[in-house]
Amino acid sequence: MRDGGEVVLLGSGAADGWPNPFCECASCLAAAGSGRVRGQTSALVDGRLLLDCGPETPRSAVRAGRSLAGVRHLLLTHSHPDHLGPAALLFRHWAGRRDPLDVVGPADVVAQCRPWAAPDDPVRFIEVAAGDEAVLGEPDGARYRVRVLAADHAVWIAGDAVLYDVAREGAVGRILWATDTGPLPDPTVRAVAGARFDAVFLDETFGDRTDLDGGHLNLATFPRVLAELRQRGAVVEGTQVVAVHLSHHNPPPDELDRRLRPWGVRAGEDGMVVPVPGVERREDVVGHRRTLVLGGARSGKSTLAEEALADSADVTYLATGGAGRDDPEWLERVAAHRERRPGTWRTVETTDVAGLLRSATGPVLLDCLGTWLTARIDLHSAWEGGPLERVEADIDELVAAWRACPAPVVAVSNEVGSGVVPATASGRLFRDLLGRLNARIAAASDEVLLVVAGLPVRLR
């Protein structure tokens, strides 16, 4: 890619787009009402290289104010009809374009394209499979290096869908075009290790649906793939990550934006321009450094907190509740929490969290402030009117460590005091101390969320 080049998303939706024109679900109605209409996913790189070309792509380019006259390389991932509209070759012929064009794709893609090119059209067809490399030349001497990667997706048989790693030889700028795919195959993960992409366009089709067949990512598998790419050095600080191939299986657009934001990800939009090489990340794109998640019992606050760090493989989970080995119900809760956390996360059961916050080298999830406070009151025997100075000193130390934590950190806490006044002195003591602790942590946080009946409300 040329210095100052760009990737223009001509489309960012799934095969049926978003909203689906035949659907009246809440997601489609919200998308239509907001005017955020997404067509079939494709992208124009630097005005020269087109990634996927479904039947909507040529008209989408016009709507985005981009010409396809300069396209010299057409990279097609597979032959599903939203990615392959071979009639575009005929439209190009009708326009009298005599410039050379490379059409690159798996064998069945190339076979479907051949009949649409006239015998004298200067079109070169290049069949590729995962593991291949191709060098595509430009009239000005520049060359694109394309590595073909395996996808977890198939049209008819395994291997007939691919992904692309595209870089300009001798220049900065490298992108990963990773749609359509489910969790990346091991050979692909190994192939992109250390790539340090400037931009990654990653499938996120299925949203909150976990009951649909594979071949695409959802909001549970997407962050795990992202975590693996970060762990392997493919996604680094400054890599722009864009979710594409979006469908109405996702929550409404504004809610999807909120879900993606903690992972440093943007939802693709038709016409979105992504500068390559990567520009400085904006504060509204990257994840917040300190996040407090409040909520009542069983409100979904812990699940939301875990989701906020789901794109990181090296999270330290500070479990402040203790093992509770004499309480079967508590053990069941602990087991449920452990089951849903990624296996790469490290769990530390402790109430001495200030030092761990100050020395953190990776993301931290603290769950929760209520059980931490209970343990500190226990430690200092302060329940029945004893001196509170030591508990208050512990709170001061925790707040200071929260402010000083050098890594992204998320804390969970109970929102108390909205109901009946506790009947006991110890209950009132806990309510008052936790209320003050929550307020101080919130004041030192970049983002504060309140979870009510599983729905997050942004307070800051």
Q: Tell me the backbone φ, ψ of residue 19, rounded to 5 degrees.
A: -75, 155
How is residue 206 written in tokens?
Answer: 């299925």
Q: List % helix, strand, coil for the chain (3-state, nearest 5).
A: 30, 25, 45
- Give the number of other Cβ atoms within 10 Å of residue 429's Cβ: 18
- Angle among Cα 102, 104, 105 to the nearest 5 degrees reads 160
Residue whose tokens read 């071949």? 215
Reference 73, options 101, 96, 97; nearest CA is 101
CA distance 386 to 191: 61
- Angle among Cα 302, 305, 310 to the nearest 5 degrees reads 120
CA distance 103 to 411: 51
CA distance 118 to 91: 11
How is residue 247 written in tokens?
Answer: 């469908």
Alpha helix (H) residue ranges in 166-282? 186-191, 221-231, 253-260
CA distance 319 to 293: 15
Known catalytic residue at 337: yes
Q: Is the torsion defined by CA of 18, 22, 27, 30 positive or negative?
A: positive
DSSP designation for 316: E
Among 80, 288, 337, 380, the one annotated catalytic = 337
Q: Tell me the backbone φ, ψ of residue 405, rounded to 5 degrees.
A: -55, 125
Measured in whole angstroms, the distance separating CA 207 from the mean position of its chain's CA atoms is 11
CA distance 441 to 375: 18
Question: What Å distances lie between residue 260 and 43, 242, 251, 266, 364, CA to CA?
Answer: 21, 9, 11, 6, 18
Instruction: Return the active site residues.
Output: 337
